[in-house]
């Protein structure tokens, strides 16, 4: 059974392809599916698994961010369960419209800017945009009655979090501070990829991303040219994972914090 319960009416399935998590949150009105896997074929497998679980019908879809492995199954869920609302942060919807594969994508049709509470009948869940990070439009979903937080790819367990050409390395640590403020020492945090973790794990990852941001700020401030920055810095993670972080960080630093190299 791919879906295992991690708390009262919260089930997580971890799929080997892209090691991605799909989570279900149940209420008396039905199930919310949080992320829809990376293709029609993969999402059909998820729909089969939801039916095998027998916990009810899906009544809403959440995309934690625009990336394909979290959103390209939207259409399959609509085909299986009818015209479900697809909920995402407003920036995630824009990013998916701009960068997603138009032949595959079904766009979110219900968006929010900072926070949104959803009524599942006998329980409420909260969606919060903690700020920019892994992308410009990440959301976290909190289930307060069981102290569970779904973190999307702001937190990863099975690999170091991924800095892409759409990520915000200088903002990410501050966004994780907001995420941490939504958790307690007893919280269960479900990352976008890998096994569930606790608050200490998130704090540790926040600190590493914070060191990366500070290192980027320091290198730029000392006038180290971008093409030497990755090799010059001392990093908490393998440097081959940090090329985009450094490039994006240099781009995003305010002019006053960058110096031209002194020749």
Binding site for Zn ion (CB under 5 A): 67, 153
Tell me the backbone φ, ψ of residue 59, rounded to 5 degrees: -120, -5
Residue closer to Zn ion by CB (options 41, 159) is 159
Q: Which residues neighbour 99 within 8 Å (Cβ) at sequence distance 6 or greater?
A: 66, 166
> Taking the complex as a whole, how short is the minimal distance between the CB of residue 205 and Zn ion, in angstroms?
15
Residue 3 or residue 72: which is nearer to Zn ion going by CB?
A: 72
- Which of 99, 232 has the CB closer to Zn ion? 99
Cβ at position 195, least distance to Zn ion in Å: 17
Angle at CA of residue 103, ends 14 and 131, nearest 5° = 55
CB of 162 to Zn ion, least distance (A): 6
For residue 169, give Cα distances in angstroms to 38, 165, 166, 179, 248: 24, 10, 10, 16, 7
Identify whether the C-beta of residue 192 lies closer than 8 Å to the C-beta of residue 151: yes
Smaller CB separation from Zn ion, 220 or 242: 242
Two tokens, residue 94: 């824009």
56/194 with CB nearer Zn ion:
194
How near is the Cβ of 19 to Zn ion at its closest, in Å? 12
**HSE of 242 in the Cβ direction (CA atoms, 13 Å)?**
25
């Amino acid at each position: 059974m791919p879906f295992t319960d991690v708390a009262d009416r919260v089930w997580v399935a971890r799929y080997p392809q892209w090691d991605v998590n799909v989570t279900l949150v149940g209420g008396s009105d039905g199930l919310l599916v949080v992320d829809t896997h990376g293709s029609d074929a993969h999402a059909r497998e998820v729909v089969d698994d939801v039916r095998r679980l027998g916990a009810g019908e899906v009544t809403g879809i959440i995309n934690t961010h625009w990336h394909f492995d979290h959103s390209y199954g939207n259409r399959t869920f609509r085909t299986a369960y009818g015209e479900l609302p697809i909920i995402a942060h407003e920036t995630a919807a824009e990013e998916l419209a701009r960068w997603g594969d138009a032949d595959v994508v079904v766009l979110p049709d219900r968006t929010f800017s900072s926070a949104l509470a959803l009524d599942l009948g006998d329980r409420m869940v909260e969606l919060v945009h903690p700020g920019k990070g892994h992308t410009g439009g990440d959301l976290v979903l909190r289930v307060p009655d069981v102290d569970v937080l779904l973190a999307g790819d702001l937190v990863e367990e099975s690999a170091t979090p991924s800095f892409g050409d759409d990520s915000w390395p200088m903002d990410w640590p501050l966004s994780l501070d907001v995420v941490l403020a939504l958790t307690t020492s007893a919280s269960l945090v479900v990352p976008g990829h890998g096994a569930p973790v606790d608050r200490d794990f998130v704090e540790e990852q926040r600190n590493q991303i914070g060191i990366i941001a500070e290192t980027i700020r320091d290198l730029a401030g000392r006038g180290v040219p971008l093409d030497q920055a990755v090799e010059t810095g001392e990093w908490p993670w393998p440097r081959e994972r940090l090329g985009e972080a450094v490039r994006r960080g240099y781009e995003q630093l305010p002019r006053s914090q960058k110096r031209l190299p002194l020749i």
